[in-house]
Chains A and B, each alone.
Chain A
Amino acid sequence: MRLNLLLLVALLASSLVLVHTAYESRRLFSALDRERARAQALQAEHQRLQAERQIQATPARVEQVARVRLGMRVATPAVTEYVVDPLASPGQGASR
């Protein structure tokens, strides 16, 4: 009889813990799921920003900014002195 009572109490306690654990696991899972969704959204946002940066840095735009705002010119061979790194490419001779 005692033992039965003891078992009953143990059963009740374990049931309550079970309920609590189930609740807790659902709460945590829903939080995890929300964060996963957020991670995905941030990933997508990252891609968008990358694309945005690319749009701002198209060769045409870079060339225009360099030419107009920074007053730069294209480096033609006439204004370039070419040197060859003897360590980097031992096989190639200096062309000029």
Chain B
Amino acid sequence: MIGARGPGKGARATREAATGARSARLIGRGLPGARSMPNSTSPLLASRTPPGRSQFVVALVALAFVGLAARAVWVQWVDAGFYQRQGDKRVVRSEDIPAGRGRILDRHGALLATSVPAIDLVADPQAFAADGAQRRALARLAGMTPTALERRLDSPSRFVYLKRGLDAELRERIEALGLQGLRVEPSLRRSYPAGASVAPIVGLTDVEHKGLEGLELVLDGALRGRDGARTVVRDRYGRVIEQVGEPLAPLDGEDLRLSIDLAVQHHAYQRLRDAVDAQRARGGSAVVLDARSGEILALANVPSAEPTARGPAAAAARRNRALTDIFEPGSTVKPFTVALALQRGVPAGRIVDTDDGTIRIGGATIRDHRPHGPLTVAEVLQKSSNVGTVKLAQQIPSAELWAMLSAVGIGRKPALEFPGVATGVLRPHAGWRPVEHATMSYGYGLSVSLLQLARAYTVFANDGVLVAPTLRARDAGAGRVAGTRVLDAAVARQVRAMLRQAAGAGGTAPRAQALGYSVAGKTGTARKQEGKGYASGKYRASFVGLAPADDPRIVVAVLVDEPRGRVFYGGEVAAPVFAEIVQHTLRQLGVPPDLEVAPAIHAAPAVEESL
């Protein structure tokens, strides 16, 4: 094969031609000798041969050699390209070098998604031969029903995937069946070690490693990388023996480091699931934000589904409702109205008379849960008085209220790389009727996602600066992230102090107290909207808060959808989840407790260890 392409081809042709000429000469010279020496007594042989005959034979042989030489010239020079192409067609292959898909990691490097070796089962239905028992054994190993297996095999094609992405460990057991027309091919499978708790964030891929949901879908381009290619010569055993030209190296997909802290995420997911189960609720969501950097430490959604579960029901369960679903936030919006009032110069000590707990605006009556009488601004928040909030809001022009709510991100889509992030609804203030202005001030008539609500509360955590949430880990040591100033630092601190009261004794959520850590936060209990009105007996209980109250490190938002227990208030349903998440997260972050806790260490004389 080397000769066919090297410089040797010309030499060989010349050599052949020369050999031909030489043998022709030898024959010519040898003939006269034979004639003069009769070697047989047969008269036939003894008779003299006519001279023309021997010359004719010599000419024939010479002609044959000329023919061979001409053919050699044809094959090696004139039509060489054709043979070269035919040869290449048989041995030269160009093949892809697949690029590895990037991994998805949590902020500490724990795996959330990675590609692992797996096997594909490939069958040739025409050649497939197996008896009933073998078929059942194969179906069991492949994890499919015998009928599904038969359906796959019932195909006129000669190449059918029976099952893709099986565990590589099954290879030996499948090959031990010794079935004809069945091949086991190596492949890769996407593995999600963290399971259901992060499935709504990470998403998943299809068998071709193409992103289908979540981050796998939206960051598919970066994760995918670029396949390489090379051209190789293979021998008849299929071994690569030569490489033609320079190979194009594959570009592996980037690893993606998320802001998620797996330990925090797991804990939040479990506490939320426990609460949802205990309340027989439809579902729930929880968001934990790093108050300083805006990094999303946890984003839990209940219910969820394992990434291996397929089908529309599982996909619906995996929807990241904290990002994609919007709801009327209710009372959790009140702190922004109060903050705006303070910003406009209302003293914190101002007494707001909530009277008998009702106020009439344009024919509609707004009610408190129960009458509170005269309240200070702080108490309006603490008691979560609708009437008090409305009275404060009435002194604020609609444009300013709208600007405030918009500035904290209500009705503005968070800049997250995620499919289907909700924008929320905040209608332009020009169309607000007085009653709408009033309801907006305490959180009805507008919609947000839970993440938007958590983002809004970073204003109170960061002394008036709003930070943008992110799902990607920020570089450590980058310091405080630049945000947008929304409130004066003094006002933000004032409201934070009020929120601390609201989450304390005498507020709406004493159960939000975390052991050892001070917290500040606000409950929300909103009736669910159904059709044009509000459904009776269906609520969304929420709690949004920050901790530690003096120097907030985290913002936590919890939402429980349709609790069906005896109680449905945010302070009863969502606040305990908040407390547990705060306690665990701050311990995980290594934040020392800022409250005195009665020590429960009981020193007893140590028992000598027996050896």
Contacts and interface: CB of A to CB of B under 8 A. Distances in A.
A77 B191 contact: no
Interface stretch (B477-485, B494-502, B590-598): B590-598
Nearest to A94: B592
A19 B539 CA distance: 84
Given A48-B117, A58-B195, A96-B592, A26 B515 contact: no
A47 B594 contact: no
A76 interface: yes
Contact of B593 (A29, A30, A51, A96): A96
Interface in A1-48: 15, 18-19, 22, 25-27, 29-30, 33-34, 41, 44-45, 47-48
Contacts of B235: 26, 30
A45 B117 contact: yes
Interface stretch (B239-247, B274-282, B317-325): B239-247
A68 interface: no
A75 interface: yes
B596 A96 contact: yes
A87 interface: no
Interface size class of B (residues with CB under 8 A): 35 or more
Given A30-B240, A59-B263, A44 B114 contact: no
Interface string B1-36: 010000010000000000000000000000000000
B597 A78 contact: yes
A95 B114 contact: no
B251 interface: no
Nearest to B1: A22
Nearest to A54: B193
Interface in B329-370: none
A81 B115 CA distance: 43
Contact of A22 (B2, B110, B188, B240): B2
A19 B592 contact: no
Contacts of A33: 232, 239-240
Contact of A79 (B240, B270, B601): B601
A81 B598 CA distance: 11
A47 B516 contact: no
B191 A48 contact: yes
Contacts of A96: 592-593, 596
Nearest to A34: B239
B2 A19 contact: yes
A75 B191 contact: no
B40 to A, nearest CB: 40
Interface in A50-86: 50-52, 54-55, 58-60, 75-82, 84
B242 A26 contact: yes
19 contacts: A26-B235, A26-B241, A26-B242, A30-B235, A33-B239, A47-B116, A48-B116, A50-B111, A50-B114, A51-B114, A51-B116, A51-B191, A54-B194, A60-B266, A76-B516, A77-B517, A78-B515, A78-B601, A95-B593
By Cβ-Cβ distance, the 4 closest A-B pairs, closest first, are A77-B516, A54-B193, A48-B116, A26-B241
Interface of A: 15, 18-19, 22, 25-27, 29-30, 33-34, 41, 44-45, 47-48, 50-52, 54-55, 58-60, 75-82, 84, 95-96
